[in-house]
Structure 1
Amino acid sequence: MPVKRSLASLSLLAASAVVLAGCTATDAAPAASTGAAAETIQVEDNSGTQTVPAAPSSVVALDNRTFETLSDWGVELSAAAVALMPETIAYTQDDSIVDIGNHREPNLELIVAAEPDLVISGQRFSDRDADIAALVPDAAVLQLEPRDGEPFDEELRRQVTVLGEVFGKQAEAEQLVADFDAAIERAANAYDASQKVMAVTTTGGEIGYLAPSVGRTLGPIFDILGMTPALEVDGSTDDHQGDDISVEAIADSNPDWILVMDRDAAVGADDPAFAPAADILEGSEALTGVTAVQEGNLVYMPADTYTNEGIQTYTEFLNGFADALEAS
């Protein structure tokens, strides 16, 4: 199936264009620690135009979608939600980063102590932006979480493009977008719309249904690739454990492909009761007659996906899906 947009994503780059505002001593905002003139840039985030330091001296990172990007770019962090990072992120091995905890019970005072001039919020911390802004009023709080109602793939491109401008990593951001686009093109070209697809997640030994478009993590893939759902359920949600579904309902829908996110692989793999998604699905007697199971057409997202849902994770998954499609 052809991809219905320019893989160069020119419209996105234009929409999130960043205007360098190399400030003079008279029009620049004073640096918080020294009072000296600071160079700033303006970027567009979810709240509108934001003025951020061109070379931030203290960065706090809270958004799971951005951790891998920031780490790969060598961005030094003063504080972060390290408790939310999978072990695949190098920051988890850096003891100099102050861990503010997870989104459920964060110690926001540790953000104050870090004296940030830039806070990168998003995803699980999105509803704490106002609290954070009140605590560190001199810091720019950047919010790039994919927005409801906007194409998810365009939102991932926007996120890394803006971060590339903030950290002077425009070329690296362009490469991430190019790799993502290439993976989409491969999977879209290899997918046959006559094939029915279902997306599920597994947690606590149970299977959850991830609905097209709205389902957590995998739902947007239906729109990105134009896939044909094996099953559509009224009132579907974006619940992190998926919606309730029986194995009989999965069997009755008889998908040609099953796409899987193993939630527990990211957050519960150390639990003695952990059951890998492959064991749950491929070991289910009720699913033995399903086409996807019989033909080995189950495609699993990377193990750390649930806590690492950035553009790199989607690129890896889409390439893996393309591999499976091309080989079928």
Structure 2
Amino acid sequence: MTTTPLPRSAFAAFASATAICALALTGCGTTQTDAPADAQSQSSASCQDDSTTTSTDPVTVTDDTGHEVSLDKPATKVVSLEWQYTEDLLTLCVDPVAAADVKGFTTWDTAEALPESTTDVGTRQEPNVESILSADPDLVIIETANRKDKIVGQLEDQGIPVMAMAGANGDDPVKYMKDTFTTVAEATGRTERAEAVLSDFDAELQDAKKTIAEAKPETTEFVYFDGWVNGSNVALRPFGQGSLIGELGEELGLKNAWTGEVDPAYGLGQTDIEGIAKVGEANFFYTGTEDPESEDYVDLLKKNDIWANIPAVKEDRVTAFPAGIWTFGGPKSSEQVLNAYVDALTK
């Protein structure tokens, strides 16, 4: 099990704290696994019966940099350079003409299934501009808070409209997830579909909250983390206040017990076994994934005496969330998170 890869714009913010991780995609953060066997079967079944309308009117949307993107008609040939937007497009029943890191998306984000024919335009950190241009897009969505980003400039020089999104907002990550989804929907004329999806999400949230309340778990405090092996040691990354997965837990009536320093946008912290042992009686949840080519940091945790004496460990309250839940995703990934919380606390 390896640390969850980071979104594109999170790399710079987290680089100093995770220099040992070498951009989180080499050695400690990459995954070489094949896609889950049932990944293709997890495509949004609701798209097959979708009856919502698609606008054909001109579109003007404002991206997270304050830049207005104006289109004569909604975008239909979209290139996504970050997994969240790839997922959002698929949920909106819009297949991207190309996407960054197709294999990685298929492994780490099972909320939606990306068509096998989708063109891969390279990594999320350094996409191939020529490949993007070859897809002849009418819109490119990139994750960056900097309008002067090199990729943005190269694409706009070729007349390609670019929508730049920050990727996260630690002040209210659940609202930001919804707002981002709505913005992608506006750009593609799929606002009616977005409204239906978000209504379903809100209903799922209320149902999950009720189920957990009725279960009366022994403790509602939790810490969610992932980690990696650093030599003979284990580095842990708790998802604190401002993280999407942490705030989803709090929406369910739970309390995030991690109070250590975190990245202000993504709510990500860094600690070790001694640090995470200080959270008291909290339940432990962590990112579940399979990577046979990497050393399992959870196995190393189990060999540590400090870990063994943490209340959650002693009382068997440590739960891996199912593999393939993208912790920085859209409404459908967030629904997977809600279901994972419910399963963990009602087992």
TM-score by length of 2: 0.66
How far residue 129 of structure 1 moved from its aligned partner, in angstroms, is 6.4
**Partner of 1:185 in structure 2?**
206
Give runs of aligned pairs for residues 148-167 of structure 1, distance below 5 A. 148=169, 150-167=171-188
Give runs of aligned pairs for residues 1-328 of structure 1, distance below 5 A. 39-48=57-66, 49-83=68-102, 84-87=104-107, 88=110, 90-91=113-114, 93-94=116-117, 97-122=118-143, 130-137=149-156, 138-148=159-169, 150-189=171-210, 190=212, 195-204=220-229, 206-214=234-242, 217-221=244-248, 224-225=251-252, 227-233=254-260, 235-237=261-263, 242-246=269-273, 248-262=274-288, 265=289, 269-275=290-296, 277=298, 279=299, 285-306=305-326, 309-325=329-345, 327=346
Amino acid at match of 1:213: Q
How far residue 201 of structure 1 moved from its aligned partner, in angstroms, is 0.9
- Answer whether contact 1:202 1:241 (CA < 8 A) is retained: no
SS of structure 1 residue aligned to 2:180: helix
For residues 181-203 of structure 1, the C-alpha deviation after alignment (integer angstroms, 9 at most, x for no partner) is 23433444435796332222122
Amino acid at match of 1:75: V
Question: Hey, what's the Cα distance between the residues in 2 that align with 1:296 and 1:176?
Answer: 35
Kindly tell me: are residues 56 and 108 of structure 1, through their superposed partners in 2, closer, same or farther at Cα, counting changes over 3 Å? Answer: same
Amino acid at match of 1:220: E
SS of structure 1 residue aligned to 2:181: helix
Kindly tell me: are residues 21 and 131 of structure 1, through their superposed partners in 2, closer, same or farther at Cα, counting changes over 3 Å? Answer: farther
TM-score by length of 1: 0.69
Runs of 5+ unmatched residues, structure 1 = 1-19, 23-38
Amino acid at match of 1:210: P
How far residue 81 of structure 1 moved from its aligned partner, in angstroms, is 0.5
For residues 27-85 of structure 1, the C-alpha deviation after alignment (integer angstroms, 9 at most, x for no partner) is xxxxxxxxxxxx52122321334323534353211121122232344423332203442
How far residue 153 of structure 1 moved from its aligned partner, in angstroms, is 0.6
Q: Which fold has the larger relative contact order, with Cα–Cα distance below 8 Å and residues 6 or more apart in sequence?
A: 2
Amino acid at match of 1:199: Y
- Answer whether contact 1:79 1:111 (CA < 8 A) is retained: yes
- Answer whether contact 1:183 1:315 (CA < 8 A) is retained: yes
Runs of 5+ unmatched residues, structure 2 = 1-53
Question: Hey, what's the Cα distance between the residues in 2 that align with 1:318 and 1:312?
Answer: 10
- Answer whether contact 1:147 1:155 (CA < 8 A) is retained: yes
Question: Hey, what's the Cα distance between the residues in 1 that align with 2:245 and 2:76?
Answer: 36
